[in-house]
Amino acid sequence: MELSEIQQIVKSLFMENIPPLQVKYDNEKGFEVAGTKETIQGKQKVNELYFGSIIPKPKDIRLYFFPIYTDPDQFELSP
């Protein structure tokens, strides 16, 4: 499978959740989504909370997925 195909598959999975998520950016450098509710991050109030991003690199596609850090027991990962 080509990297561009992998990127499109992962992006489409994020897009299934818009709304309630929102696209922060979608360009050649990557794709990022965030929440839309005001929340507390640390000691600050922020307008949205980072959810995830897809960053294309020459030899791979990088997935940054915040929920895996907050709720690891909800995800099954291969070694």
Element containing residue 63 per DSSP (H, E): strand 61-65
Hey, where are the domains in the chain?
3-70
Q: How far, in Å, are 21, 22, 37, 53, 56 from residue 17 at the CA level?
A: 6, 8, 14, 13, 21
Q: pLDDT of 25-55, one tens digit each?
A: 999 999 999 988 888 878 888 888 888 999 9
pTM: 0.77
Q: What percent of the chain has pLDDT over 90?
A: 42
Six token digits for residue 15? 């897009």
